[in-house]
Amino acid sequence: MRVLPKANDICWCGSGQKFKRCHKNSTDPVRPGRISPLRPVPASIPRPMWADGGVLEKWDEPRIKSDDVIERMRQTGREAADTLAFLGTVIAPGATTDDIDVACHDRAVSIDAYPSPLEYPGGPNAYPKSVCTSVNEVICHGIPDDRKLIDGDIVNCDVTLFKRGVHGDTNATFYVGNVDQASQDLVRITRDCTAAGIAAAQPGNRINDIGRAIQDLAEKHGYGVVRDFVGHGIGEQFHTDLQICHYYHPRLDDPIEPGMTFTVEPMITQGSYRAQMWSDGWTATTTDRSRTAQFEHTILITEDGPEILTTPSDTSNHPYWTL
């Protein structure tokens, strides 16, 4: 487990510089900021059951989807991916994570999609924003607020759209300005872990082959694999009971079958994989404040192998394909 260095220690990033001359500021902990008022979604847009203070879904959807659901998921998945790629255009030093929320919310509404995280039940309060923005040591579910992005930060944006009665769930980690080599390595290997997990999602394999592939690659590089958050079945429901661990779990030995749709979304850390929660009940960080990255796709299992449903129309400005 990595502990924060003292000011005169050598920095953890490999530069050979003193910590105070190098990464002291960029490793200042992320702190909660001000959360702006709720952004409404026009009543004309079809909404999931949790909108307007509604209840949580039952997580009981059948694992094998109909051709009709699959085709709708292809379309909504692509639109979620296009929205995620679009968020990259607002990410820069000085932009706030709330600016990212505005971009995601307005874009979703402009294409008649409901941003699935908005009012999703959980924690002491329903999730108050339209996207999750997780900076540096924040593992996942960071809430957009007035914190300005700083040169050298890394930020994960997790977009889920609800349209055509189905969800498309996808995320990527973006660089803010110039990012140190250690963080770039983390982000690239995390992308590769996601790709390795997806490649292992072959019909005939078992669910735990996915986590085995991810864990093998991550640990080869000395990284940690977060245990407390997992991939999930998805479709007409945002989350279903199907769990995809990103580490090897011996009991998750159900066969992977054509027609299944689920997410692969490993969270990889520079240090400890242990997570702790802010008092907002949503924001999860590493316990040692080491940085962490994530990529997520919604995939379909076909007879021929996995199909990434959250592939954007143009892969040339999407970090999963360009890093």
Residue numbers of the site for Co ion (CB under 5 A)?
158, 169, 263, 296
Least Å distance between CB 135 and ligand MF3?
Answer: 15
Least Å distance between CB 113 and ligand MF3?
Answer: 14
Q: What is the 3-state secondary structure (H, E, C) of the chain?
A: CCCCCCCCCECCCCCCCEHHHCCCCCCCCCCCCCCCCCCCCCCCCCCCCCHHHCCCCCCCCCCECCHHHHHHHHHHHHHHHHHHHHHCCCCCCCCEHHHHHHHHHHHHHHCCCEECCCCCCCCCCCCCCCCEEEECCEEECCCCCCCECCCCCEEEEEEEEEECCEEEEEEEEEECCCCCHHHHHHHHHHHHHHHHHHHCCCECEEHHHHHHHHHHHHHHCCCEECCCCCEEECCCCCCCCCEECCCCCCCCCCECCCCEEEEECCEEECCCCCEEECCCCCCEEECCCCCEEECEEEEEEECCEEEECCCCCCHHHCHHHHC
Q: Return the residues of window 249-278 that contact ligand MF3 according to CB under 6 A.
A: 263, 265
Residue 120 binds which entry of ligand MF3, Co ion, none, CB below 5-8 Å type-dependent? ligand MF3
Is residue 296 involved in binding ligand MF3 (CB under 6 A)? yes
Beta carbon nearer to Co ion, 11 or 132 = 132
Residue 127 binds which entry of Co ion, ligand MF3, none, CB below 5-8 Å type-dependent? ligand MF3
Q: Return the residues of window 106-135 that contact ligand MF3 according to CB under 6 A.
A: 117, 120, 122, 127, 132
Residue 262 binds which entry of Co ion, ligand MF3, none, CB below 5-8 Å type-dependent? none
Is residue 169 involved in binding ligand MF3 (CB under 6 A)? yes
Phi and psi at 217, nearest 5°, equal: -70, -45
**Which one of residues 145, 158, 209, 236 is an interface residue with ligand MF3 (CB under 6 A)?**
158
Q: What is the 3-state secondary structure (H, E, C) of 273-323?
A: CCEEECCCCCCEEECCCCCEEECEEEEEEECCEEEECCCCCCHHHCHHHHC
Beta carbon nearer to ligand MF3, 191 or 232 = 232
**Which one of residues 160, 237, 285, 311 is an interface residue with ligand MF3 (CB under 6 A)?**
160
Backbone dihedral region for residue 238 (phi beyond 0: left; psi -120 to 50: alpha; all else: beta): alpha
Beta carbon nearer to Co ion, 119 or 158 = 158
Beta carbon nearer to Co ion, 26 or 263 = 263
Beta carbon nearer to ligand MF3, 130 or 215 = 130
Least Å distance between CB 158 and ligand MF3?
Answer: 4
Beta carbon nearer to ligand MF3, 154 or 234 = 234
Site string for ligand MF3, 215-254 (x = CB under 6 A): -----------------x----------------------
Least Å distance between CB 73 and ligand MF3?
Answer: 15
Beta carbon nearer to Co ion, 150 or 229 = 229
What is the binding site for ligand MF3 (CB under 6 A)? 117, 120, 122, 127, 132, 141, 158, 160, 169, 232, 263, 265, 282, 296
